[in-house]
Structure 1
Amino acid sequence: MYDLAAMGAWVEFAVRWLHVITAMAWIGSSFYFIALDLGLHRDRNLATGADGEEWQVHGGGFYHIQKYLVAPDQMPADLVWFKWESYTTWLSGFALLALVYYLGAEFYLIDPAVMELSAWQAIAISIASLVFGWLVYNGLCNLFVNANQTALMVALYVVLVAMAIFYTSVFSGRAALLHLGAFTATVMSANVFMIIIPNQKIVVADLIAGRTPDPKYGKIAKQRSTHNNYLTLPVIFMMLSNHYPLSFGTEYTWLIACLVFLMGVTIRHFFNSMHSRNGTPWWTWAATAILFILVMALSTAPMWRDAPEEASGPALRFAQADGFEDVQDIVMGRCSMCHAEEPNWDGLLWAPKGIRLDTEAHIATNARAIYMHAGLSRAMPPANLSWMEEEERAAIRDWYAAATGG
C-alpha cells in the first residue's frame, strides 16, 4: 500500500505547482494590462471612436491594440474574459492553506508562545479574518469611490498595518506573514469576482440590449484593478516568506510586513510612471533600497541583544520537560557551533537565519523548530555534518512529546 504521508506530500506538491502556475498567469496578465492601459496613445483621433491605441511587436508579429473608454458601439462576436487565472489562483491557494496550515495547525499555525489556541479556534480565526478583510476593504472602497484616491490608499494601508499586528499577535510568525498574504490575495481575487467581472457583465448586457453603458462601472473596475496592481508584489513576498525564517522569526515581523507593503508601492510607482510616460522617478529605487535595508536590520535585531540565560514564559515548559538536559547537550554539541552569537564554523559570520541555540532559553524557545528539523526530519544539521545520531533524534522527539503531551 502506498505510504499515506508520501501521498499527502505529493498532493501538496501538486496543489502548490498549480498555485504557482495560475499565479504567474494572473500576475502576468495583470501587469500587462496595467502597463498597456497606462501606455495607450490618447492624443490621436481614431476613426473607430476608441479612447486610445498602441502598436506592439511580439513573437514575430505586430499587434494593433485599441481601448474603448466604456464600450464599443456593438457587442463583439468573440470576447475573451480574464478571470479564471484569478479564481484558480485563489482556490488553489486556499487549498494549500488548508493542506499545510489547517491540517498541520499544531506545527505551522499555532505558536503557544504567542497565543494558546486549539486547532479549530486557529482555523476559525483564519477563515473569519479573510472574510473580514474583504468586508472592511469593500466598505472603504464604497465610501471613498468619489473621494481622493490617495486618502483611500492611506486608509487601506492602516488596515493592513492593523492586520499585520493582529496576525502576529495570534499566529506563529510563519503563519502570520502567510495569512497577511492570503488576506491581501483574498481582497484581490474578490475584486475580480465581486466587482470587476460583474461590472463588465453589466456593460455587456447593456450593449446586447442596445443601451449606452454607464461609465461608472468602468471607473469602479479601474479603481479595483489599480489596487490589485499595487498589492501584487507584497503578496508575492508574503507567499515566499515561509521559506525564509529571517522574515518571520523576529518580534518585528509585523513591522517588516508593513515596510514590504511600502516597497510594493515604490516599485510599482516607478513602473507605472514609466509606462504612462510621466518620467522615470529613479528616487523610488533609493527609497526601496532604504526600506529593504530596514527590513534586513529588523530581521536580525534580536541578535544584537544579550541572550537570556534561563527560559521564561511559555518556553519554560520545554525547559522543564523530561529529557531537556539530554536534548540541551545534544543541541549544544551538534548545532551550537553554527547557531551561536559567534559561530566557530568556517565561513559563518552569524547564526544561520538568525537562530541561536547556545543557551537554555534559546533552545527552549526554538523547541518546535528543533523538533521539526532535527527530530521529526533530517533537515538539520545540513548533510548531517555534525553526525547527529538516530538515538539523539529520538531523544528530541521524546522531549518534545513530553513537553506538549503528545
Structure 2
Amino acid sequence: MWWVELGYYSFEPGENDFPRPGQVIRYYRQQKFKSDGKCWTQQDLANALGLTEQAVCLMETKDLGLDSITRRRVLIRILQIPAILLGLAEIPQLSSTSMESGVGNKAAAINISFYEEQLRSYYNAHHRKTTHQNLPQIQKEIAEMYQILPISHDKERVSQILSRYHIMAASIMRDQCLFNQTIEHLDRAIYFTTQNKDYEFLADAYYRQGWTYLEQGKGEKAIQSFLLAEKLAQKIPTYMKAGILIGLGRSLALETQNKQDSLEALRTLDKAANMLRTYPPPDGNPHYLEIEIDRFHTDRSASLIDISFPHDALQELSYIRSDHNNQRRIALTRVLYAKTYFALKDYPEACYMAEEALHVIQPIRSKVNYQQIKKLYRQLKNTNFKDNPEVAHLEILIDKMKELGQI
C-alpha cells in the first residue's frame, strides 16, 4: 500500500487504490485535541461540520457522505489530513527523480534536532509532573513529521523520531485513560521500530503496550506484550530487561489462579530486582523509562495487593524512597497505600490516603490514578463503613475535581 510506504498509518484499502476515507477521517479526528487535552469526539466533528453525530458515524464506518469534494476539502482543513489520503492529490511515483529534486530544499531545511529537544522536554515534564496540556502541540509536530517523511533525505532518522513521538503521545494518553488511542500510537511506534530494526525502542513500545493493557485489567494481553518485549532481551540493555520482567510479574499477579501462580509472579519480580541492583539504569538513559529499584518496590507492592498479601504490600511500600520532584510516583504510591489499607480493612486510613492521593493527582491531572480512587470509593460504599463521614468527604472531593474540570 503506497500510503504505508510514504509513512502514513496502515489504513485498509478502499476504492481506486486509495485508503478507506472513513478510516482516515476517524484516525485524524482522534489525533485532534481540544484545550482540555481530550480528543475530538464524533459529536465534536458533527458540530464543526453542521451534521448529526449519526452522519459522522456513518461517514467513518461506512464511508458515506463523502461524495462531495467540498466536504473532503473541509475535512482536510479542519482535521489537518494530508490531501492525498482523501484522494485530492495525485499518488506520487515514489522513486521519481522529480519528487526528490522538487522538494529537496524543503527536506534539507528540516531541523530534526528541534524535534529531539522538544521530545526530551516533554518526557521530563511527563515523568515528574504532567504534560497533557502539550498534547495538541505534540500532535502538531507528529503531523509535521509525517509531511516531512516522504520527502526527507534521511527517512530512517525521521521515522526514528516519529516512533519516539508516538511513544510519548501514548504515555500521556494512557495516563488520561485514552486507551484506544494509546494502542494506536504504540502500533505506529511498533511499525517504525520494526522497519528500522530499532530493537531497543521496539521493546520500549511493547513494554508500554503491556502497561496499557494492565491499566485496563487485561492481564492476559499484557502478558503477551511483555513476552514479545522479552524476545528482544539479547538486543537491549539489562535495566530494560528488568523493566520488562517487572511488567511481566505484575501481569502474572493479576492473572493468578492459585498459590503456585502467585509464587511465579513474585519470583519474576525478584529476578528483575536482582538485575537492577547489579546493573542499574545509566544516568540520562535515552529511553526515558523510569525503571529503577523504587519502581520495582512500587510494582511488587501492587502485585502483593493483587494476590491478597496486604501486610507484605505495606512492608514493600515502606521501602520506596521519597522524591518530591516525582509527583507522578508520589500519586501512585499514595493510591497503593489507600488500596493496601482497604485490603487490611483499615477503612479510616484508606480514606485518609485516598484524600492524600487526590491532592497530588489534581495538579498533575492523572486520570488513571483518579479512576483508581473512584474505584476504591465504590468499594468503600459496599462495606459497613459506607455511612461514615470519611467516605462522604472522599465522595465530595472526587465530585469536586470532576465538576471543576480538574481531571
TM-score, structure 2 length as denominator?
0.31
Bigger RCO (CA 8 Å, 6+ sep): 1
